[in-house]
Amino acid sequence: MSRRRNLLVGLALVAACWEAAGRLAGPSFAPISAVLLATLDLYLSGRILEPLASSLVRFALGYLLAVAVGVPVGALMGFSPTADAALDTYVHVFFVTSVASLLPFLILVAGTGLGFYVAVVFLFAVFHVVLTVRTGVQQVDDALVDTGRVFGAEGVALYRHVLVPAALPVVVAALRIGANRAVKGMVVAELWIYAGFGSLLHSYQRYSQIDYALAVVLTIALLAVGVTQALAWVERRYAWTTVEVPT
C-alpha cells in the first residue's frame, strides 16, 4: 500500500505547489482551488452541460463512423496482401498528414454544421484504427494458422475459428486508440468553429478568466482519460494478449 500512500502524498504535494504558485504568480496563473471552484460553478450553473452534450454527440458520431470504416478496412488489409498493397500508400499518407492543416479545407467542403465535426473526428481517428487493426492481424502467429489447418480448418472455418478470435484483442486496442484520437479531433474541430467547449474556451480566454479556462480543460482531460481508461479496462479484462501498435 506504500504505492497508494506515495500517490496520495505526491498528489497533495503537487496540489500544494500549484496552489502556492498560483497565489504567488498573480492573476494570470490560477491556484488549484480557484480552478476547482470554477469547475464546480460550471456544473452547478449548468453552463457546461449544453457544450458537453453536443460535444459527446459529435464525438460519438465521428468515432462510430471511424470504427465502422476503420476496422473492416484494417482487417481486409491485414488478411489480404493484395488489398494491403493497394491501400497502404493512402493510409500512410493520411497517417502522417496533420488533420489540423486540413481544417480550412474541411470547412469549405462541410460547412459549419454537424458534418464538419463528424468529418474532423472521423479523420483524426480512422487511420489509427486502420493501422492498428492491420498491424495486429498481420501479427497473428503463423503457427496458429498452421495448427488450424492441421485440424482441418479451411476457408471460412479458418477465419471463424482461428483468424477472427486471434485478431479480436487488436480490435479492442484499436477502439481505445481511436477513441482517444476522436476526443482530440472533437476538441480541435470545436476550437476551430468556436462551438461547444471551443466557444467556452475562447470566451474565457477573451476575458483572461484563467480559472474557468483551466476548468474547461480539466473537464476535457477527464473526458479523454475516462474514455481511454474505460476501453483499456475492457482490453485488460477481455483481451487475451496485448499488441504492439503504431503510434
Partner 1 sequence: MTALSPRRRWALRTLSVLVILAAWELYARLPGVFLLAPPTAVLGVLVTDLAVERTLLWALLSALRNAVAGYALAVGVGVPLGALVALWQPARDVLDPILDALHATPLVALAPVILIWFGLTSAAKVFLVFVFAVFVVTINTRAGVANVPSGLTDAARVFGAGAPTLYGEVYLRYALPQVLTGLRLGAGRAVRGMVAAELFLFADDLGAYLIDSGATFDIARLFAGVASLSVLGVLAVGAIALVEARLT
Residue 220 CB, shortest distance to partner 1, in Å, is: 5
Residue ranges in contact with partner 1 by CB under 8 A = 3, 6-7, 9-11, 13-14, 28-29, 79-82, 85-90, 93, 96-98, 100-105, 107-109, 138, 145, 180, 183-184, 186-188, 191-192, 197, 201-202, 204-205, 208, 210, 213-214, 216-217, 220-221, 224-225, 228, 247
**Helix/strand/coil (H/E/C) assignment for every residue in the chain:** CHHHHHHHHHHHHHHHHHHHHHHHHCCCCCCHHHHHHHHHHHHHCCCCHHHHHHHHHHHHHHHHHHHHHHHHHHHHHHHCHHHHHHHHHHHHHHHHCCHHHHHHHHHHHHCCCHHHHHHHHHHHHHHHHHHHHHHHHHCCCHHHHHHHHHCCCCCHHHHHHHHHHHHHHHHHHHHHHHHHHHHHHHHHHHHHHCCCHHHHHHHHHHCCCHHHHHHHHHHHHHHHHHHHHHHHHHHHHHCCCCCCCCC
Residue 211 CB, shortest distance to partner 1, in Å, is: 10
Cα dihedral value 90, 94, 97, 100, nearest 10 = 150
Residue number, 63 or 79, with CB nearest to partner 1: 79
Residue number, 79 or 117, with CB nearest to partner 1: 79
